[in-house]
Structure 1
Amino acid sequence: MSSSRVGLRFFQNSRAAFREAFRRPGAQGRRFQTSDAAAAGQQSTFQRLWNSPIGVKTVHFWAPVMKWALVIAGISDFQRPAEKLSLTQNGALTATGAIWTRWCLIITPKNYLLAAVNFFLGCVGVVQVSRIVSYRRSVDGSTKEAVKDLEHEVVEEAKGVASAAREAVKKSS
């Protein structure tokens, strides 16, 4: 009976020693932050960027970097004729940019890099939507008719998506 108690104590102590051996000095439960302000002041700029909660080794850094591709694609569409632009796609970019810009400033940690890319995504969307609306207004002659055409287009696209979804459900069952 005493040998089992010794074994249990051995494993309890070894587990604590294992945790202590692989624990970073000064870490207190936060994965990428050091609790010691003096140590943070002595770190180089690269080390602070690396150890930041929104640093290079996190998705908080790489998601905005990759999202700049959407902004660049939207900017490249400035040269396309307005009649070839999709209102629903650019409306979605506008809404995404507005919603996520606000969200990035609410969450903790605040992600200003992601807020910036979403802000520019929304700006690109607003420019494109305004180009589409002004083009359709010039073709149709009035704003009310252009808005009716836009509504009709959106409704028809939604009906098409719904019918495609119904067909997919019928095929799967």
Structure 2
Amino acid sequence: MPPSSNLFRAARPAFRANQFFRPNQAGRGARFQSTTAEAPNSGSWAKRMWDSPVGVKTVHFWAPVMKWALVIAGISDLARPAEKLSLTQNAALTSTGIIWTRWCLIIKPKNYLLAAVNFFLGMVGVVQCSRIFLHRQSQKSLTEQVETKVEEAKQAVNP
């Protein structure tokens, strides 16, 4: 038996004792249900945000907040010349943004903040990849033009 299964078996009672994993009357886990008897819309906005399943004390809030740094870095790269940009890096950011945007709308609880940051990450990646492709196309056409001019000059010198 792998050592990891022993770890999980030893930790199981601790998880079962946790109040968030106790089943409710319907037989489902009450993982994201509030433990207070208050109505869901009572209290201030800050209190509701604190107690929310995607509130400020969860990773569902802080992961998207930190991920905005990638979007800001991508936007700041718009000032860089296209030849200095990495196609593989921007393709990875694009695919990450597109894939995880869809995922954020499937998971429960839906995380619209994470979906928004991933959407913008994908869009910044699409813009950067487009810039890289357009730059490479213009370089190819310039190379072809130079080669034809060189051939014409050779023909003019050696008739």
TM-score of the aligned structures, taking structure 1 as reference length: 0.63
Paired residue for 2:95? 95
Q: In the alignment, is residue 78 of structure 1 matched against residue 98 of structure 2?
A: no
Measured against aligned partners, the alpha-carbon deviations of 1:27-65 in whole angstroms (never above 9, x if no partner) come to: x56355337886222222111111111110000000000
Distance 2:44 2:33 in 1: 14
Gaps of 5+ in 2: 1-16, 143-159
Distance 2:67 2:135 in 1: 28
Tell me: CA distance 1:113–1:62, structure 2 relative to 1, closer, same or farther (3 Å): same
Paired residue for 2:65? 65
Measured against aligned partners, the alpha-carbon deviations of 1:78-137 in whole angstroms (never above 9, x if no partner) come to: 000000000000000000000000000011000000000000000000000000000000
TM-score of the aligned structures, taking structure 2 as reference length: 0.68
Identical amino acids, percent of aligned pairs: 71
Distance 1:78 1:125 in 2: 10
CA RMSD of aligned residues (A): 2.6
Distance 2:33 2:69 in 1: 30
Paired residue for 2:133? 133
Report the CA distance between 1:141 and its aligned residue.
1.7
Distance 2:101 2:31 in 1: 26
1:1-173 alignment runs, 5 A limit: 30-34=30-34, 39-141=39-141
SS class of match (1:39):
coil
Query: Does the CA contact (< 8 Å) of 1:33 and 1:52 recur in 2?
Result: no
Paired residue for 2:147? none
Paired residue for 2:3? none
SS class of match (1:57):
coil
Paired residue for 1:15? none
Query: Does the CA contact (< 8 Å) of 1:63 and 1:114 recur in 2?
Result: yes
SS class of match (1:141):
helix
Distance 1:40 1:54 in 2: 14
The total of aligned residue pairs comes to: 120
Tell me: CA distance 1:38–1:75, structure 2 relative to 1, closer, same or farther (3 Å): same
Distance 2:37 2:125 in 1: 42
Distance 2:64 2:55 in 1: 12
Gaps of 5+ in 1: 1-18, 143-173
